[in-house]
Structure 1
Amino acid sequence: MLKYKIIKDLLAIAFLTMLSYSSSAQEIRWYNPEKETDFIIEGQAWSNTVKNRYDRLPASAESQVRKEVWKLSNNSAGLYISFTTDAKDIKVKYGLKERLALNQMPATGVSGVDLYALTKDNKWKWVKGQYLSFKSDTVSINFDNLYPESVKTYRIYLPLYNTPKWFEIGIDKNSTFQTLSDKQSKPIIVYGTSIAQGSSASRAGMAWTNILNRKLNVPVINLGFSGNGRLEPEITSLIAEKEASVFILDCLPNLMIFSEAEVKEKILKAVQMIRLKHKQTPIILTEHADATISLVNVDRQKPFLKINTLMKELFIHMKREGVKNIHLLTAEEIGLNIDSTADGIHPSDLGMMQYAEAYEKLIKKITK
């Protein structure tokens, strides 16, 4: 009996030791951008002057822009966190302010986050996560069984069409964690519509601005405002305050509600406002890419073709007037087709990749 008691006691001690080790190994240190003084969020042009931690415009803009634009600027489209860690498991949890999904866009794109790893041989790899909870009050995702020894940097993209109320990254307490920032590179600043904001990517990392961010590995500032990318001087003046490697004006889809005279004025004024402060920085003007989709109802394409013709005429006019370093990205160069959108307007992941590749090709050409 004594022998059995000793064995039983030893097993109990071993079990308690295992539980203690397991509990210690699973103890998580949570990092919160609102509480950590050295936590860096990238993709924010006005990171030090925002009202809320995940805003895309400075606090001063609230009284300057239309309320629809301000509300959309609270969405975290294009914001991302770059970090290093030697942890084999990464946990993410956050709360949301708005609806989880849209009619033409899944919840993973509207409200989800997306993790990528840049390997030590400089290749981006997507990290599959397991959603444990996907509700507006709490989204919880685990990224498990990682190989940190092969990873140089992680990059996590925040929701495209939603606003985090709070956000945390969890790492084993014994693992290292450090956020990073590319302060050496001037950003590409994008002023656009719902397409630039990210509709209708299936995941946050598949918005064309985020694809471009990985392809060129430079910061990209996403100022896409769904239905409200109207080349308004209040936004253009804010953009002109910032230094950039390239300015992209991709607002034609939202200018179709205006007359030809108003569209001309908006485009010319936007270019002029940027040129006043940035004499040589490249400016890309983008056509309405949906003009290349072959629809059964051909009449639906006529407005797209008409506004693109107007853009071409204005581009030629500005070149003749001596405006330097402006460039036109045509619908044909983007090359959307019948399989490129979710609803005939907003790009699917395929369409987003076509957008990103077209911009990448042009930007590499003009920036050498």
Structure 2
Amino acid sequence: MEYTTKDLQGFIHGLAWLGVEDHELTRFPTSAKPKLDPALWLMATMTSGVRIRFRARCDVILLDVSNLIPNTNPRMTQVAACGFDLYADGEYFDSFVPPLPGKGDFLGFLNVDGDREHDYEIHFPYVSTVTLNALALENRRSNEEPTIALHARPYSTPGRVVFYGSSITHGANADRPGLIYPALVARDLNVDFINLGFGGCGKGEPVVADLLASIPDVAAYVLDWGINLCSTPEVNLIHDRYHPLLEKLKNAHPDVPILLVNMQGSAGGKLDKMMPGNLEILRKEVRRVYDAEIATGNKKIWYLDGRDIFNGPGGFDFTIDRVHPHQGGFYKYAEKITPIVKEMLRIS
């Protein structure tokens, strides 16, 4: 049995606007493209956090996709750049991995356990565009055509946890799509999530704030942004954007808890004499906003200092470049963020 993106409307997760205007796998709606910086729109076409969740009994799962972006990053694995992770019953099973360089069309298949039904989840690549031509299921031991059903295991809480940030939230440099920190947090807590991390482009523009606020069915927000304003020409934009973005989210979703993640250190301090000072401007504003919310009695606000994620000797060893985590670093992120989100959502 073959399914197109339109057929999978109720099975695709991680896209707030799928089916509203079209069935493109973009993380912002197509109508927003003219309003966004071209670099941000490119990041929004990448499928970080997009998943297909379904239940089926079959022997083979096939993916027919197009428009993959070739992997040109020597520090990134091929499966992270343009591969697809398959989870079965909540456990990693295998990955669909296009051959190098991974450009263009890919038809991949995985043999799975056809003895009984399983809950499957396919994580899409975090730094590639994807056109999903078809998801297909096959039985090899009978003539009965397999079909998909909704995941048997319901989420532990209604709504979606929305992550907004820059390259780390986007996924750089996790080993696989299913191992970005928003996915780790969500899988541990069994919650749905939307990943709006945009490498180099998490700048909190007013149009982005409006888009974040317009997302329906939000269970919580995790805001891990600001570092992309660290250049001297842009650093003071944090004063114009951070609090207004938060206010828009609060006004649109007054009962939704929000986690503010302050920035960690930066490799730029080694080479750019302005970087440490600019980083402190950003960090002080995030902390100022949080303290002001607490002073007003806001009970829906949480805070995490990013410097606590890699604290201790050898903290930078959890990164590939003193900024972006490798896989061990992403587990560190999840270890810090998961218990906070659990408390926010009151998951027992």
Q: Name the structure 1 match of 2:43.
A: 72
Q: Name the structure 1 match of 2:342.
A: 364
Matched residue SS, 2:292: helix
Q: Name the structure 1 match of 2:113.
A: 146
Of residues 105-114 and 128-137 in structure 1, the stretch that sits farther from structure 2 once superposed is 128-137
Contact 1:33 1:39 in 2 (8 A): no
What is the CA–CA distance in structure 1 between the aligned matches of 2:9 and 2:234, rounded to whole Å? 48
Residue identity matched to 1:117: A
Query: TM-score when scaled to structure 2?
Result: 0.85
Q: Name the structure 2 match of 1:354.
A: 332
What is the CA–CA distance in structure 2 between the aligned matches of 1:67 and 1:52, rounded to whole Å? 21
Residue identity matched to 2:146: T
Query: TM-score when scaled to structure 1?
Result: 0.80
Residue identity matched to 2:256: T
Q: Identity over the aligned pairs, expressed in percent? A: 21
Residue from 233, 238, 246 that aligns with 1:271: 246
Q: Name the structure 1 match of 2:137.
A: 171
Residue from 24, 32, 40 that aligns with 2:4: 32
Contact 1:340 1:351 in 2 (8 A): yes
Residue from 178, 192, 196 that aligns with 1:219: 192
Residue identity matched to 2:326: S
What is the CA–CA distance in structure 2 between the aligned matches of 1:56 and 1:330, rounded to whole Å? 27
Q: Please give the residue correspondences for 1:1-368 in structure 2 after superposition, counting only pairs within 5 Å.
A: 29-34=1-6, 36=7, 40-118=11-89, 124-129=90-95, 131=97, 133-134=99-100, 135-146=102-113, 149=116, 152-173=118-139, 174-180=144-150, 185-242=158-215, 243-257=217-231, 261-290=236-265, 303-305=278-280, 307-335=282-310, 337-368=315-346
State the shift of 1:297 in Å.
8.2
Deviations 1:314-353 (A, max 9, x none): 3212322444411111124423622211222111111112
Matched residue SS, 2:103: coil
Judged with a 3 Å threshold, the aligned counterparts in structure 2 of structure 1 residues 267 and 40 are, in CA distance, closer, same or farther, namely: same
What is the CA–CA distance in structure 1 between the aligned matches of 2:213 and 2:159, rounded to whole Å? 13
Q: CA RMSD in A?
A: 2.7
Matched residue SS, 1:177: coil
Contact 2:265 2:307 in 1 (8 A): no
Matched residue SS, 1:46: coil
Contact 1:94 1:139 in 2 (8 A): yes
More helix by share: 1
